[in-house]
Amino acid sequence: MEIKEITEGETRLLIPSKRKITKKDVVFYNPHMELNRDLSVSITRVLKPGRFCDLLSGTGARGLRVCAEGRVKHVLLNDANPNAVELIKKNAEINNLDVEITNREAGSLLAEERFDFIDVDPFGPPVAFVDSAVRALENNGVLAVTATDTSALCGTYPRACRRKYDSLSLRTDYYNEVGLRTLLGYVIRVGLGYNVSFRPLFSHCTRHYFRAYFRGERSRRACNESLKHLVYLQHCFSCLNRGYSSLDGLLERCECGHEFANAGPLWSGVFADKEFCSGVMKELGFSEKGLELVDLVRGEQDITNPYYNIHRVFHKRGMPTRPTSELIDSLLGIGFRAVRTHFSGLGLRTDAPVKEIYDIL
Ligand SMILES: C[S@@+](CC[C@H](N)C(=O)[O-])C[C@H]1O[C@@H](n2cnc3c(N)ncnc32)[C@H](O)[C@@H]1O
Give the residue-averaged pLDDT of 270-288.
Answer: 97
Of the pLDDT bands very low, low, confident and very high (cuts 50, 70, 90), residue 23 is: confident
Q: Which CATH number fits domain 308-360: 3.20.20.70, 3.30.56.70, 3.30.470.20, 3.40.50.300?
A: 3.30.56.70
Ligand 1 pocket check for 129: Cβ under 6 Å: no
Give the residue-averaged pLDDT of 229-251.
Answer: 97
Nearest-atom index, ligand 1, CA of 58? 27
Ligand 1 pocket check for 33: Cβ under 6 Å: yes
Residue nearest to atom 27 of ligand 1 (CA): 58
Looking at residue 55, its pLDDT comes to 98
Q: What is the 3-state secondary structure (H, E, C) of 25-72?
A: CCCCCCHHHHHHHHHHHHHHHHHCCCEEEECCCCCCHHHHHHHHHCCC
Q: How far is the CA of 104 from the centre of ligand 1 (A)?
A: 11
Residue nearest to atom 23 of ligand 1 (CA): 80
Percentage of the chain surpassing pLDDT 90?
A: 96
**In the chain, at which residue ranges do the beta strands (DSSP E only) sit?**
3-8, 11-16, 51-54, 74-78, 100-102, 115-120, 137-147, 196-206, 209-218, 230-235, 242-245, 261-267, 308-309, 338-341, 344-350
Looking at residue 19, its pLDDT comes to 67
Ligand 1 pocket check for 132: Cβ under 6 Å: no
59/91 Cα distance (integer angstroms): 8
Ligand 1 pocket check for 9: Cβ under 6 Å: no
CATH dotted code for 3-299: 3.40.50.150
Domain segments of the chain: what residues? 3-299, 308-360
Mutual angle of helices 175-192 and 127-136, in 10-degree steps? 40
Ligand 1 pocket check for 109: Cβ under 6 Å: no
Give the residue-averaged pLDDT of 121-145.
Answer: 98
